[in-house]
A = this chain, B = another copy of it.
Amino acid sequence: MRRDVFQAIADPTRREIINLVAFNPLNLNAIADKFDISRPAISQQIKILAECGLISIKKQGRERYCEASLQQLNEVSNWIEKYRQLWEEKFNKLDDLLNNMQNQPNKP
């Protein structure tokens, strides 16, 4: 039962749930209504999201309001940012080539 943020956001349904509650909290049934799958299925996905800290659940009477708590996305963001310069460099390789040709214009 691996349950890290990378895996949590791998599922499109879970990403969609995050998107739904990101800008306004919704209770569980309101979320489930937006999907074609059953309410228990949504309940299970929300449980996973809650377990890895991406949403927090606030009980109000018999309702459970889900709100996004996305600080954990920093873990993914940081991992990606390690490589950003690397992949953006590739766009500059033509530049490098041109520079080299200018520095050594008549190499035999």
Contact = CB atoms under 8 A, between A and B. Distances in A.
A86 to B, nearest CB: 6
Copies per complex? 2
A86 B22 contact: yes
Q: For the side of the interface on A, what is the size category?
A: 20 to 34
Interface string A46-57: 000000000000
A6 to B, nearest CB: 5
A94 interface: no
A13 to B, nearest CB: 12
A80 B69 CA distance: 13
Contacts of A6: 9-10, 12, 15
Interface of A: 6-7, 9-10, 12, 15, 18, 22-23, 68-71, 73-74, 76-77, 79-84, 86-87, 90-91
